[in-house]
Structure 1
Amino acid sequence: MEVASAIQLAVAPAFLLTAIGATLTVMTNRLARIIDRFRVLNEVRSKLSNDDLVELNMLRLRAKWTHWAIALTTLSALLTCIVIASIFIGTEIQFNFDQFIAFLFIGAMSALILGLISFTREVTLSKNVVKQ
């Protein structure tokens, strides 16, 4: 009966893990596009205008923010996995990991929040590409 209870407790973090995975897919796709554009501009570096050089610097900055977004969101996924494992380990060895699990979950949510803030910063920077 306790395993069934552990499974019920682990369902919410498992769904969270799925959402984090989808978010990471979006972030890595954006990073790939940034890198592709950077390579295109870098190949013709000698022929670049001042606007292109500004764009190159902006791409570097966007890549930095996207990197942090991915790193922090990945940390959130890792901590969420540890939460799920801790639920099952605690059930198996009959030990109360409640405070540890709460600490891990707070850490996972904090990392996710910081990752999403970093991602939002990158998206904000990308708006500068569209000239008005």
Structure 2
Amino acid sequence: MNGKPILDTHDALSLKGRTGLRRIVDASGYSLMGLQAAYRGEAAFRQLLLLNGLLLPLACWVDVTRSERVLLMIVPLLSLIVELLNSAIEATVDRISLSIHPLSKQAKDMGSAAQFIALLLIGLTWGLILI
């Protein structure tokens, strides 16, 4: 990310009034841009995609109940969601200021802690189901 503002003919408020199908199409586009930004700019997101690429097919292959299979699939996907939120927190904090501030550190550390717990959840869920 180059840190430069995106030049657009719309400001944020002008985008809020959209409704119906146009809003859904626009929101989908913004979501895809967010996924693309995470993939390009966040090594942790790419690593979690690789982990999901391994665990999701494995979840389909192991001999477990349907409910257990769902858990084995949901938990790694949850880690992707947490990483997107963590990256958003980090980008917002960095946008405000790159100087070191105790509240900025606290926000970033809490986002990191959320991801740590999500990874523990993967290990715990897979461990309890498969052992």
* TM-score calculated relative to the size of structure 2: 0.49
Which of the pair has more CA radius of gyration?
Answer: 1
Structure with the bigger percentage of helix: 1
Q: Which has the higher contact order (CA 8 A, sep 6+)?
A: 1
